[in-house]
Amino acid sequence: MNINREMMYIAFHQVMFLMTGLSTTLGTQWLFYHKAATGDSYLAQLSQYLGMVMVGLLIPILLRNKQKAYQRLNQEDDQVAMTTLASVTEQEPSKYIEGPMPYRSVMKLAVLDVFANFCVTVGFAIVGSGMYQVIYSSVVIWCAILTWFLMNRTLSRVQWVAIFGTSAGLAVSSFGDFSVETETGSLLLFGTLMTLGGTFFYSCVYVYSDYIMSQQKPPPLAARVCFTTGIYTSCISCVWIAIYTLPRFSQLIQPTAPLETVMGMYLMVSLSNACHSWNYYELIDRTGSVATGILQGLRAVLIYVISDAWYCSSDPAQCFTPYKGLGSMLVIGCVLLFTELTQAIELEESELVHQIICASLGNCLNRKHPVESYKVAFQQLVQEKIKSLDIDLTLNPLTKQPFKALPIDTKLYLLQCLIEWQLQDSQAIRQSISNSIYTLSPIGTDSKKRLYWQFGESCWIWREKPHAKQQLSDWETVCRDRDSLTALVDSLSDQQTAERRLRHYIIEHLYELADEEEKKRQRKERAELRKSMPIIITTPQLRSRHHVNYNYDPMLEIEQDQEEEDSKPETTPTRWSQRLKKE
């Protein structure tokens, strides 16, 4: 039964989102065609801003819903198997805490919104509702480009393809109207550029509002930011109307419809804007940006069809052409592709993050066996830390969404807290830290009152020379190896106690470290040399087939040969020689 109610609630907001979007755009178009509003009169803009002010009526309802969710969250997790001090548990906050409102930043946001709305409304009055809706659909792309340029967020290749595809679709949509150099074509070109520029400035508004919400911990209520921005923009619009519109009212406003009908249309546009904002906030919270982006694309298609049926006979710019059809399909398709791909990237499970969370949870909970799935354990740990006021959160974000679906700033904040908690709660880490404490005091001084420092298992020595008039000090590296240590020892005197102690410390402790580092360096050089040497391949030498005497003695062999020669009898030569006769 609860699922059916939830589905019916979402379906209601989806239908209302489409209906209010159509009534807002087509109602504003009706005001322009019946000369009840112009782009520079700011009457249509004022009706939109009054709709933003009406969102303030929803603030008590939204606060009450958040308070109920917070109370339900405090009651549901009493069985968490972790120990907590009773005195700390009693200090739980009793109600939902809303972040402060940055009024100065909201004022800047309102000024930017007024300028963007001016450009969009002027372009809307020229190009018509259908073309306006297609161009305005590219606001998602502009937001992505701004976050890439200003916040160094990376974009994938497919996302860049979607961006260029949207640009190509906008160009194709306007190709049929500007191919002929006429006054109407120039006017349509100007209207398209104004709408495109206004869309860019609206993306600046969205990025800046996202920045405002992310800077506050806890953030202010989004509906209250919308309400405050509506008040500021309404005041600016009233000033413009009083200075510019009212003195030229008879020239700017010449309605062709009855006054009651015009006033009713303005009221409908204001109410539609208020309801549209409410539907937008609910759908973003319950269905996400992809489903909302699909509804925006469907809204653009419906407005194109209705504008062609209602206004094509009176305004050629509203007529449906093959160029507009192809360009609209390309723009809407690329926007939907970009939106879906962005959410898919945000929801992508990272194996590295999974391992970090599991390892950190194992340390925090002092588990002997590794944590394989962190979903339940992480949620329980965050809930317990909220109760003990160890984290600056009032609601546990993991109860509504999994970790991979959370916003990036929330993910980073939870990971930072998790790292800090394991440094505090893990007995193994605390024992490791206590067993390997490095010295944080100087190893000695010299006759000039300069301090000498050595850190960890390194033989490097740094010298600090403090300034008398400044808080900063000059640091320099004195020793890096055995030779520099020997030179420093030779420069120190044995007559002064401080330098003698420094000499003895270096000789007794750092010489051995320097020798070990030198051996490591030599082993590394030999390994690199072996890698660089060419491999010489030689044929193996096989053993001879002759008998080998392994008891062979060369001296004994020489004596035996000599005895054999001495024992041989003398033989007479077989050939007589005159030379032998003479002898």
Q: How many CB atoms lie within 10 A of CB 112?
A: 18
pLDDT at 78 over 60: no
162 and 253 fall within a common domain: yes
324 and 362 fall within a common domain: no
Any domain includes 545? no
140 and 284 fall within a common domain: yes
Any domain includes 35? yes
204 and 301 fall within a common domain: yes
User: Which of 435, 458, 487 marks a domain boundary?
Assistant: 435
- Rounded to the nearest integer, the mean pLDDT of the chain is 74
pLDDT at 335: 67
Any domain includes 559? no
Nearest to 458 by CA among 438, 475, 476: 438
394-398, 439-443, 551-555: range with lowest mean pLDDT: 551-555
255 and 371 fall within a common domain: no
pLDDT at 446 over 80: yes
User: Which of 493, 526, 559 marks a domain boundary?
Assistant: 526
Q: What is the mean pLDDT of residues 61-82?
A: 55
pLDDT at 350: 67
How many Cα atoms sit within 13 Å of 400 on the Cβ side? 14
User: Which of 369, 400, 435 marks a domain boundary?
Assistant: 435
Nearest to 143 by CA among 404, 335, 364: 335
Number of domains in the chain: 3
Q: What is the mean pLDDT of residues 513-519?
A: 88
pLDDT at 555: 59
pTM (two decimals): 0.52
Among 148-157, 371-380, 478-487, top mean pLDDT goes to 478-487
Q: Which domain holds residue 218?
A: 27-68+103-341
Distance set, CA 132 to CA 21, 120, 125, 451, 538 (Å): 13, 8, 9, 71, 80
Any domain includes 148? yes
Between 5 and 503, residue with greater pLDDT: 503
pLDDT at 84: 34
Residue 322: asked if its preceding bond is cis (omega within 30°), the reply is no
pLDDT at 334 over 70: yes
pLDDT at 61: 78
Between 572 and 212, residue with greater pLDDT: 212
- Label residue 80 by pLDDT band (50, 70, 90): very low
411 and 363 fall within a common domain: yes
Nearest to 162 by CA among 141, 146, 135: 141
Any domain includes 3? no
Q: How far apart are CA 289 and CA 140, in angstroms?
A: 10
Q: What is the mean pLDDT of residues 22-35?
A: 84
Any domain includes 365? yes
Any domain includes 544? no
**Both tokens assigned to 50:** 């009054």
**Both tokens assigned to 436:** 């390997």
388 and 451 fall within a common domain: no
84-93, 320-329, 446-455: range with lowest mean pLDDT: 84-93
464 and 331 fall within a common domain: no
Q: Which residues contact 283 (CB under 8 A, 6 or more apart)?
A: 10, 13, 14, 17, 291, 292, 295
150 and 221 fall within a common domain: yes
159 and 283 fall within a common domain: yes
Any domain includes 188? yes
pLDDT tens, residue by residue, 201-224? 877 877 777 676 666 666 677 778
209 and 246 fall within a common domain: yes
pLDDT tens, residue by residue, 550-565? 565 565 666 666 666 6
Distance set, CA 397 to CA 2, 132, 155, 165, 460 (Å): 21, 38, 26, 36, 48
56 and 117 fall within a common domain: yes
